[in-house]
Amino acid sequence: KAGVTQTPRYLIKTRGQQVTLSCSPISGHRSVSWYQQTPGQGLQFLFEYFSETQRNKGNFPGRFSGRQFSNSRSEMNVSTLELGDSALYLCASRDRDSPLHFGNGTRLTVT
Amino acid sequence: QKEVEQNSGPLSVPEGAIASLNCTYSDRGSQSFFWYRQYSGKSPELIMSIYSNGDKEDGRFTAQLNKASQYVSLLIRDSQPSDSATYLCAVSSGSARQLTFGSGTQLTVLP
């Protein structure tokens, strides 16, 4: 099976812009989770989607949003970018209660 | 607030030694426990999962779970320089099986 695919791998944006990240889960996996990873904060949970519904949400401002499509693909959007949003954004998928499988991540740099 | 605590390290062990990584969690109702390995600049990779009290062995890796003490550990026998990475403990809890990660322990195996 193909793994979790995230696009793009790298992004450079300026403050105030918005960005959309994409994630294709492992075939058959209906749950997709998003995490932000920074050196100081570690892995921070953003949200999880299951069957197109947000099932869990972390403590991030409303500028961070996501959605899931009927084919389980997911997108994450960050509006009004801030310098502190620079991070590695990781998408992970799982089947029911199975462990998470991570994609290679999107490294976002905000200047 | 569900918490997962790990010693941040860094932990250094000589090649061939046993590396011991520890993790405690606050939610007594947690059901599933995972260890991920993350190389610098890469995404986390699942190496062990454990669901019931006791030990689970997979090659050079042994996961140990003690639910009464809310403690999970990972032992790496015959440590190799290629084991040098950050090890993340993750705990699943709640009806939605939300995964909470510890901040990770950085392991260095010295040749």
Q: Do B32 and A97 touch (CB under 8 A)?
A: yes
- Beta bridge mates, A32: A49, A93
Tens-place pLDDT, residues A42-66: 889 999 999 999 988 999 999 999 9
Tokens of A67: 């959605």
Q: Give the closest of B36, B88, B96 to A55, CB-based.
A: B96
Closest CA of chain A from B75, distance in Å? 20
CA dist B102 and B7 (Å) reads: 9
Tens-place pLDDT, residues B49-61: 999 999 999 999 9
pLDDT reading at B86 higher than 80: yes
Tens-place pLDDT, residues A54-108: 988 999 999 999 999 999 999 999 999 999 999 999 999 998 778 899 999 999 9
Q: Do B43 and A48 touch (CB under 8 A)?
A: no
Mean pLDDT, rounded, for B45-49:
95
Q: What is the mean pLDDT of chain B?
A: 93
Write the burial class of residue B30 (CB in 10 Å: 0-12 exposed, 13-18 middle, 19+ buried): buried
